[in-house]
Amino acid sequence: MKKDIKIYIAGHRGMVGSAIWRNLESKGYTNLIGRTSSELDLRNQQAVNDFYQAEKPEVVIDAAARVGGILANNDFPYQFLMENLQIQNNLIDAAHRFDVQKFIFLGSSCIYPRLAPQPLKEEYLLTGPLEPTNEWYAIAKITGVKACEAIRKQFGKDFVSLMPTNLYGTHDNFDLKSSHVLPAMIRKFHEAKIKSDKSPTPEALEGEGVELRRDEPVELWGSGTPMREFLHVDDMADAVVYAFENQLPDNLYNIGTGTDLTIKELAALIQRIVGHTGEIIWDSTKPDGTPRKLMDVSKMTNAGWKAKIGLEEGIRETYKWFLENEENFKEVKIK
Ligand SMILES: NC(=O)c1ccc[n+]([C@@H]2O[C@H](COP(=O)([O-])OP(=O)(O)OC[C@H]3O[C@@H](n4cnc5c(N)ncnc54)[C@H](OP(=O)(O)O)[C@@H]3O)[C@@H](O)[C@H]2O)c1
């Protein structure tokens, strides 16, 4: 692959897009282009066409989307459906018409049916009802997968879709109103630890013990029983760059680690890494989402790529990044 090939990364400031940018830069690619949403609103078809006409990208990586957790999906179904359709339709159709050589579309594991057998295989797409809490987002993403598949089938172009599992890592969204479960837990445990009064308990003062008060409790959503898989965003970027540098034989690939854990186990791991000593209260009135979501990653493994970053190592690195950026981490604002 020539190092000056022109690569447009849509959503290059986002968690995934910025990781892809860093990865490509580290591999010596010199002709990367990106636009912020205020420079180029991807919902605007004319603006997207003008951009492709002027810049003539040879490769397009679509990491732009309206993303968010259960709460944001539930409160803003129209934006999650319509804005994602607009963004991806404009990017895919312009890529087709302006002869982009390679297009990589990023979706999500929520495209698969809620009760599909586990682990999720690519062939389970459209075999049953979706998880209602994020069906708006999932339907948009399924449409993107099908659009790329149709272009591949009808015109023989190298358009490929990668479906990441839950991602976390550098540049994650720590805004509790719109964040995913893992960064939300990091922030909650951290803030409870910081707020806590670490003076000795009255019982300890009366006696001779030096027992300190425990940290403030942390309230977490749901029952803690659902099982989830988590992939570090640098691994995701590595998979995207692998898909860019190699011609994958099929149109749809799951990207994950192939291993999962319960939300309770995840909470215990993050609590230990953050050093929070208080109680965890599970609010079972809040929705759990899909009972289990584990990717079958054998197709991508057979194509030559697998994840390298372990969960504990990845969370430690993410918490370090959170501490370094605590004052100015990104808050996603719903307009
Ligand atoms: N995060 C996850 O756990 C996860 C899991 C599975 C799949 N994915 C997929 O990975 C992709 C990237 O997700 P992410 O987590 O990196 O999201 P993110 O951090 O929120 O970044 C999204 C990016 O999209 C851009 N964007 C949004 N609306 C736009 C618009 N109207 N016009 C132009 N740009 C717009 C934003 O640009 P500005 O910053 O300039 O506003 C931002 O850079 C998405 O397709 C998502 O579905 C993510």
Ligand 1, atom 24: closest residue by C-alpha: 64
- For the chain (335 residues), the mean pLDDT of every run of 10, in chain order, is 96 97 98 98 98 98 89 89 98 98 95 94 97 92 98 98 96 86 95 79 65 85 95 98 97 98 98 95 88 94 98 98 80 40
User: Ligand 1 mean position to 308 CA, how many Å?
Assistant: 23
Instruction: Check residue 334 and give its pLDDT.
Output: 36
Give, in order, the Cα–Cα distances in Å from 171 to each of 19, 91, 179, 290: 9, 23, 12, 25
β-partners of residue 163 are 254
Q: What SS3 class is residue 293? A: strand
Q: Which two tokens stand for residue 168?
A: 């976390």
pLDDT at 70 (0 to 100): 73
Task: Give the per-residue pLDDT at 200.
Answer: 61
Pocket test for ligand 1, best of 46, 87, 167, 235 (most atoms within 8 A of CB): 167
- Known active-site residue 137: yes
**Residue 309 corresponds to which amino acid?**
I
- Residue 34 confidence (pLDDT): 98
Q: What is the pLDDT of residue 313?
A: 98
Place of tokens 């990586």: 61
C-alpha 71/C-alpha 167 separation (Å) is 17
Burial of 157 (0-12, 13-18, 19+ CB in 10 A): middle
Residue positions counted in the chain: 335
CA distances in angstroms from 173 to 70, 94, 163, 325, listed in the order given: 14, 29, 19, 11
What CA–CA distance (Å, rounded) separates 104 from 130?
24
Q: pLDDT value at position 4?
A: 98
In ligand 1, the atom with minimum distance to the C-alpha of 109 is: 6
Say which residues have a Cβ less than 8 Å from residue 153's Cβ, sequence separation at least 6: none
CA atoms of 43 and 56, how far apart (whole Å): 19
Sign of the dihedral defined by the CA atoms of residues 151, 50, 138, 21, in that order: positive
Among 29, 137, 242, 319, the active-site one is 137
Helix or strand holding residue 157 (H, E): none
CATH homologous superfamily of 7-173+229-258+295-308: NAD(P)-binding Rossmann-like Domain (3.40.50.720)
Pocket of ligand 1, beta carbon within 6 A: 11, 13-17, 36-37, 40-43, 63-67, 87, 106, 108, 164, 166-167, 180
Nearest-atom index, ligand 1, CA of 16: 16
pLDDT the model gives residue 299: 98
d(CA 65, ligand 1 centre) in Å: 4
- What are the C-alpha distances in Å from 189 to residues 25, 280, 282, 325? 34, 9, 13, 16
CA of 104 to the centre of ligand 1 (A): 14
Tokens of 303: 């194509």
13 alpha carbon – ligand 1 mean position (Å): 8
Phi–psi pair at 186, nearest 5 degrees:
-55, -50
| Mutation to probe ligand 1, out of 15, 86, 328 (largest number of atoms < 8 A from CB) | 15
Q: Given strand 32-33, what is the order of strands in its sheet?
A: 32-33, 7-10, 59-62, 102-106, 158-164, 252-255
pLDDT at 202: 63
**How far is the C-alpha of 73 from the C-alpha of 232, rounded, in Å?**
22
| Dist CA 19 CA 12 (whole Å) | 8
- Which DSSP string corresponds to 1-35? --TT--EEEETTTSHHHHHHHHHHHHTT---EE--
Read off the tokens for 196: 């806590």
* Global confidence as pTM: 0.92
Q: What residues does each domain of the chain span?
A: 7-173+229-258+295-308
